[in-house]
Structures are given as C-alpha cells and as structure tokens.
Amino acid sequence: MRCKLQKRFITVVLLAFLFSSTAMADTGADALEGSVSTEVDALEGGGVSSADDLEGSISASPVECSGTSPCIETATGLPMQVLPRPFTNIYLSRQPDADAVAYANIEAFRPLYVFAREDIDLSDPSEPKGWYQVGSNKQQILGWVQARDALEWRQALVVAYTHPGGVAEGRQPVLMFKNASSLRNIVNADDMLTRAGEIYQAVEEAKVPESVVSMEPRRYIDINRQFYILPILDWEQLNIYGDEVRLLQIAAAVPGQRGADTLKESGYMEQASTGREVDKGAGLTNLSIDVVFVMDTTRSMQPYIDQTRNAVRRMVQATGDRLKDKVKFGLVGYRDSIAAAPAVEYTSRNFTPELVDAGTLIDILSNEARATPAGSHDYAEEVFAGVDLGMRSKWRPGALRFIVLVGDASAHPRGHPQNTTGKDETDLRRELDDSGIHLISIHLQDERAAEDHDLAITQFGHLAQVRGSDSEQALVQVNAFKEGDFQAAVDSVVGGVASRFEQSLALRSLPPPPPMPEYDADVDVATQGRMATDKVWEAALIEYLGKGARPPKDIVAWVMDRDMLNPADAALEVRVLVTREQLSSLVQALSRVLDAFDKAKMSQGQFFEALQSVSGQTLKRPEDLGREQSLAETGLLPAFINSLPYHSDILSLSNEMFASMTAEQRVQLEWSLKAKLAQYLAINEQVDAWHRLNEADPASELVHPLHIDYLP
C-alpha cells in the first residue's frame, strides 16, 4: 500500500486540537442534522474508549470546576470549552424536555465555556452521557447541554485555508467528505490523482458524489478578513511519496451565521464553484489601489529617485484623469541608523502621512525626497526599517495594497547593532501577509559591491514572495550601470500596475501570467518587471475577489491538508486562537524574559537568577530555580503555551543552555524575542484583527487567529 496510516499524537505541530474521546463526532450524513450515530463503525476508526488508548499516551488533563467560573484544565490552566453540534438546545435544567428549553437550536460549533460537568461518561464515544453547564463568556451562564450534543475543545489550535494561488496554476479547493473511509480509499488508491480529478470534474458538472459533503470555495477566504473557525476533531497521518500528510476531521463554523453549507444546497454550490477569474461576477466597481514606494535615499540613489518620479509622471500621462481617485500613492525613505551615522538625518521617514495623488507624489519626489550627501559606516542600509514603516502607511479601507521596494544594498540582519527594528525578512514577510500587502522588489546591483549581492537578493526576494506560491518572487534585478535599465524596470512596474488595474475594471478576463523565470542576464528588465507585476496583481486580485465568497459552516467532514491533485501544496495551515488577555500575558512574559537577558548580560550572572529578580511572584517557585530548570517549568509564560504541541527553543531554555550559548546565539535569540514582542503589540493595535465568537464577549475575550510561527 502506497500510503501508510499512522495514529500518533504530537509528532508535529499540526497534531492540533487534541479533543477528549467525546470529541469523536458522527461522520455520516446524520452529523448534518445534529444527531449522533449509535454505531461505532460510523467513526471510521476514530472511536477510542479513552484518550489513554491513543498512541503516544496523550490523555485529557483533569478538570476543576468551582461552579462560579469556567472549569479549568489543571495541566494547562485553560478554561474548558465545548462546541455545540447543529440543532443543539440549551436547557434550564438537566432535563431534555421541551418545556425546559432556554435557547433552542443554537449556533453550531460556536465555543461555549463550561461551568460544571455532571455525570459525564465518555467511555462510549458514540453515545457520551451527562451534562455540561455552559455560558457564552466567562461571566454569563446560559444553562445546560447534553454531552451527546457537544464536543469538548481542549486546545486552541485551528486550521485555515491557504492562499490558493493563481487562476491557472493554483491549488484545488479542499473537498469535504462524509466519512474517513471515503477519503482514505481515494488517497490509498494507486490512481489517487485520477480518482481525485474525477471527483472535481463531477462537482464542476453538478454531479456531486454522495461521499462529498461540501467544498472550500474556489475563491480565497482570508481568515483575517472573513473570520471562521475550523477545529479538528480527529486526524490520521499518512505518507504520500515520502511526504507526511494528514486526513483531518473538522467542524466548520462562522460566528454569527448558521445553516449547513453543503453542495446539495444550490446557493452554496453556486458560490463555491465560482472561479477566480476577474470576469465572473467580480463586482469591481469600488476597486481602488494604494502604491507605497519604499526607497533607499542614501547618496547613491538620487538618479533613481528622479527616474521613479518620471515613471509616475508617464503613468499619469498615459491614464489621464481616469484613475485619479482610484489610485493613491505613498513614499517612505530609508537610510541608516542615525545612532551609528547621525549625518544621514533619519533612519526611515514617511513623506506621506496621508496617501496622495500622483501629482503630489511627483512634487514630493522632486523637492522633498532628496538623497543625502552623507555617507554611512558600511554598505548595508536600514531596508527593514523602511519596509516596516511602509507597512504602517495609512492604507485606505478595501484598497489593494502594494509596496515597491527600491534599493541597492542589503539590510542589516537581525541582531546587528545598526538593525533598528529587531526584525528580518521572515518577520516582515509574515506581517506583510497578515496585512494583505503585496511587495515588489527592485534591486539595483553595483558590480563594485558584488559581495553584497547574494545577501541582498535573499532578503529582497523573500520580501517579494508572491502570495500563494512557494517559489515565485516579484524580484527585479537591475544592473545599476546599464543605461536605461532602471527606468525600464520602474516603468514596467508602475505602468504595469495601472494597466492591470484598468483591464480589471473593464472586467476583461486576463490571460494568466507566465511563471517568473530564474534571473537571467538575457531576460530584459522590462520583461522581469512586467512578469513580477502580473504575478503580484493576480495574487492581490484573487484576495479581493474572495470577499464575494463565504466559507462553509455547520458541517462535520473529513478533509486532506494538502491539494489532492498536487500533495506537495499545503491546503490548510495551523493557527492559534488567542484572546486579547492571552496575548497581553505573552507580552508581559516576554518583556520579563528580555529584562532578564539584559540583567544577566550586565551582571555576568545566571539567566534564572536574573529572571527571578525581575519576575518576583510571577514565577511558581522563584526560590528553587536550579541549573536544569527550564523556562517552561517556571510558570512565567502563559499556561496555554505549554499545552500546545509545538517545538519552542525558548521554552526549553535553562541555565545550562544559556551558559553554553555563544554571544552571537544570545543576541539572535534576544532579537528574535524582541521581534515577536513587536508583532504582538502591532496585532493588539489592529482593530480589525480581533473577532467575537459570541456577541456578548467582552473585549478581553476577542480572539485573533495567530500564526503558529509567531509563538515564542
């Protein structure tokens, strides 16, 4: 058999959402109606008599209930929650009588806090017994639900749909199957790709197989802007051609909405099947774009500042007034750390606190954004500071967001004394993705600084990763001394964005852009620029068109976490659902760890002695920090972090490990934590990044789907 099934827990990060054995939901059609099958076979191998029966000896932690506040899992410190099935009632008392119904047919899979557990018996996962007293938040008790109508939620991990990529080369939507056996039979087949292709073809022809419940819409659903939750109820790990993939049993929910979205429901079928092409019900009337230039303004850059101005002027001449109110511009200049080189006057500067029209940008480029005559101490510049400031431009709501990065030198890496942000290209790339910003890089290459090119290309290229692609980068490499090349490159980018915009507004289906070539001196820069712009525009427009789609809800189904026609492409990614309160506790904890780093550095003492002095009573046992004590055991970091199945260098940090680290390793770890701290603070300030699971949730209980890479 090509695919070897495994049932192991906590071997990799995506072993998410380890529910108790009661979480084994019905996988048949009855699950859509809220009933529970009485046949253990319906669980397709998911049924176990207790969590201890699972390989890896993962067991649900004990739960303590006070009756006045939510029950707490003693091992993690997390409040216990349950997910109600479709058509669940909340009762006034532990009697399933019609006269005792307090709330009928509540929203499915919307998390509820547990305040009490009475007569819970989960020994038979197909027919759990007992009652949960539940509330919509930590203060409000609503009543009682039957154990058979609820799934215990014991982790904060969820999955989200990945960016699907381009129209022609993008991945297929996630198919959702009624049971594990139907999906497993396809994945285990020697002709898996053929059989999966036949199902997609049948769905396209509206001949949906009985085994398929629903489907992810073909258009992109961005969890940051169209919030949904996909908790995992069960999972199986497989190996396909050497790659680990997982079959996941998921529940799908959208806060504030209800009603099962199946492919048998014509309304959902129609919208889920709508393609990503621009001319298919696009609704682009209100489409607008914001373009922010992030430019090196050191002394070598004046000719390129002037040529950028000329490119914007030519775009205006080509488009007239047609795009005047539709396109706005911004400009951020960057130089070097003023602490190291005060004569450069600024590290980064936003010349456009409010985005401006093209004419105003031309004036700014002519009169204000002048290159400095002063030099800095080294060749590298503060590229990351420029991108970081550019991301915080005053973008218009709903506009497509683009940054055009122009520079000739690499950025100071994280940990370098002149790196003023504490971030690197990986940190900024995550923030660009979460902010919906697409970046095009133009790297000017001076042959006299050839030793800097490889690092700069790596940094500029990673920042310019095309969303939805693992390999393509919107990077244009320009010979700084080849006459006309930069002008051709910037013309192709500025003019290309405007051209694509006008074509999209005309609702013309555009031919898919060709794949970006590897850099080749024989490929002229105008072609590079046009291809980069085409790719980035397609990715941005796919995100915009996704606003017209809606994620499926109120279903239980089995899915594969990879593209079924190309298993190398991830279809689902892991997120951590954190509350404002939890993020605030992370900020406080990391601040204390960083204070301890500074104190240990100054005193040449042990890390945990410094941590004890700056943390005081926040540690579990401040008087008993031995050499082998790890940070995870101190109780300083929030308990939910310790409960998550992922690897963390900081959690395993001990005095012995700290003492063995080189100075460079300590600097890198310190700056990594500073970068994450900055990301937490930025997320906390974003109003639209936080979502309510329940209408009555207080501000502290709003949630954010945090990338698991953001964890310390």
- Residue 656, CA distances (Å) to 596, 603, 627, 672 in order: 15, 17, 6, 20
Q: What is the 3-state secondary structure (H, E, C) of 521-571?
A: CCCCHHHHHHHHHHHHHHHHHHHHHHHHCCCCCCEEEEEECECCCCCCCEC
CA 505, CA 492: separation in Å to the nearest integer? 19
3-state secondary structure of 292: strand
Q: Residue 513 carries which DSSP code?
A: P
Burial class of 452 by CB neighbour count within 10 A (0 to 12, 13 to 18, 19+): middle
CA 690, CA 703: separation in Å to the nearest integer? 5
Which region among 41-50, 169-178, 426-435 has the lowest average model confidence (pLDDT)? 41-50
Which region among 114-128, 444-458, 643-657, 666-680 has the lowest average model confidence (pLDDT)? 643-657
Predicted local distance difference test score (pLDDT) of residue 581: 85
- Structure-token match 């961005």, residue found: 222
Residues 37-46 pLDDT 10s = 322 222 222 3
Q: Which amino acid is present at 677? A: L
Q: Please compute the mean of the pLDDT values over residues 613-642 and round it to a whole number.
A: 62
How sure is the predictor about 2, in pLDDT bands with cuts at 50, 70 and 90?
A: very low
50 has a pLDDT exceeding 60:
no
Question: Which residue ranges make up each domain of the chain?
Answer: 21-154, 158-274+550-570, 289-546, 579-707
CB 640 within 8 A of CB 78: yes
Residues 147-158 pLDDT 10s = 999 888 766 778
251 beta partners: 556
Put simply, whether the predicted model's pTM sits higher than 0.95 gets the answer no
The CATH homologous superfamily to which domain 289-546 belongs is von Willebrand factor, type A domain (3.40.50.410)
Predicted local distance difference test score (pLDDT) of residue 646: 63
How sure is the predictor about 61, in pLDDT bands with cuts at 50, 70 and 90?
A: low
Q: Which amino acid is present at 339? A: A
CB 217 within 8 A of CB 267: no
Element containing residue 707 per DSSP (H, E): strand 703-707
How sure is the predictor about 655, in pLDDT bands with cuts at 50, 70 and 90?
A: confident
Average pLDDT, the chain: 81
Predicted local distance difference test score (pLDDT) of residue 155: 65
For helices 485-505 and 525-545, give the axis angle rounded to 10 degrees: 30
**Pairing between β-strand 101-103 and β-strand 90-91 as defined by DSSP bridges:** antiparallel
Predicted local distance difference test score (pLDDT) of residue 157: 75
517 has a pLDDT exceeding 60:
no
259 against 393, higher pLDDT:
393
Both tokens of 279, joined, read 């001319």
Predicted local distance difference test score (pLDDT) of residue 279: 62
- Residue 13, CA distances (Å) to 17, 18, 342, 643, 645 in order: 10, 12, 45, 12, 6
Residues 209-224 pLDDT 10s = 999 999 999 999 999 8
Q: Please compute the mean of the pLDDT values over residues 497-508 and round it to a whole number.
A: 81
Give the list of residues 6+ apart from residue 512 with CB closer than 8 angstroms, or none: 166, 167, 168, 169, 538
CA 169, CA 574: separation in Å to the nearest integer? 23
CA 570, CA 579: separation in Å to the nearest integer? 26
Q: Please compute the mean of the pLDDT values over residues 577-595 and round it to a whole number.
A: 87
Closest Cα partner for 387 from 371, 407, 362? 407
Both tokens of 527, joined, read 């072609």
Which region among 8-22, 108-122, 413-427 has the lowest average model confidence (pLDDT)? 8-22
Both tokens of 518, joined, read 């590897």
- Structure-token match 């018996």, residue found: 121
621 has a pLDDT exceeding 60:
no
CA 159, CA 228: separation in Å to the nearest integer? 10
Which region among 248-252, 383-387, 521-525, 653-657 has the lowest average model confidence (pLDDT)? 521-525
Residues 261-289 pLDDT 10s = 999 988 899 989 988 877 655 567 788 99
Which region among 39-53, 71-85, 176-190, 364-378 has the lowest average model confidence (pLDDT)? 39-53
Element containing residue 574 per DSSP (H, E): strand 572-579
The stretches of 546-685 forming alpha helices (DSSP H) are 580-603, 607-615, 639-643, 655-660, 663-685
